[in-house]
Amino acid sequence: MSSWINDNLAFIFVPLVAVWVIVLVDIVGQPRLSTRMKWIWGLGCTVLWPLMIAYWITRPVQGRIERTQVRTSPRDRLVDAVLDHEDGRIDDSEMATIVNELRGR
């Protein structure tokens, strides 16, 4: 997690927070906007940016190598079993068990 933050801090969080601050300052400084509209724009920006940041945090994107260590889907299990079977790490009966399980049989 810490390496993920280090990798993405400069490119994602800092720019987003910087833009958010700049936009807020710009909104507050707009002479033509009423106070009510400034609040609406400010709230819009304050909600939209955290939503996008939350999306970046929660989306399943990791480092190239780290991503391979999270292999839990049925398709991942099939790929691993097929390669393990070919390399002799699992035998025919183990392979058949895994395939039948994955195919719901």
Partner 1 sequence: MSDRSSGGVLRRLARMAANLVYRDIDVHVASTGAADRPILAVSNHFGGLADGVLLVDSSPRRPRIVARDVIWKVSLVGRLATAAGMIPVHRAADGAARATNDEMFAAAYDSLREGEVVLIFPEGVTQDVPHMAEVKTGAARIALGARESGVEGICIQPVGVHYENKAGFRSRALVNLGPLIDLDEWVAERGEPVVGGADDRAAVGDLTGLVNTKLRHVAPDYPDWDQAHALETVAEVLLTDVDVAAPPPVQYGDVALIGSRLNRVAEPERGQLVTLGAQYQEALRASHTSDHAVATAANPVRSWGWVLDLVLAVLLLPFALVGMVAAAVPLLLVLIASRLRIAPAVRATVVPGLAMLLFLGEWVLFALQTGEGGSLQVGLAAAVLFPFLVAALFFVAERIAILWQRWRRRRQPSSAELPALQALRAEVAAKGWAAL
CA nearest neighbour of 56 among 12, 21, 15:
12
Half-sphere exposure of 28 (CA within 13 A, CB side): 6
Q: Could you say whether residue 44 binds partner 1 (CB under 8 A)? A: no
Q: Could you say whether residue 9 binds partner 1 (CB under 8 A)? A: no
Among 3, 4, 15, 40, interactor with partner 1 by CB under 8 A: 15
- Please tell me the distance from the alpha carbon of residue 29 to that of residue 17, in angstroms, as a whole number: 18
- Please tell me the distance from the alpha carbon of residue 104 to that of residue 30, in angstroms, as a whole number: 62
Q: Could you say whether residue 99 binds partner 1 (CB under 8 A)? A: yes
**Count of helices and strands (H, E) across the chain:** 6, 0
Q: Could you say whether residue 16 binds partner 1 (CB under 8 A)? A: yes
- Cβ 39 to partner 1 shortest distance, Å: 21
Q: Could you say whether residue 64 binds partner 1 (CB under 8 A)? A: yes
CA angle 21, 23, 25 (to 5 degrees): 70
Q: Could you say whether residue 75 binds partner 1 (CB under 8 A)? A: yes
Task: List residues binding partner 1 (CB under 8 A).
Answer: 11, 15-16, 18-19, 22-23, 26, 48, 51, 55, 64-65, 67-69, 73-79, 82-83, 85-87, 95, 99, 102-103
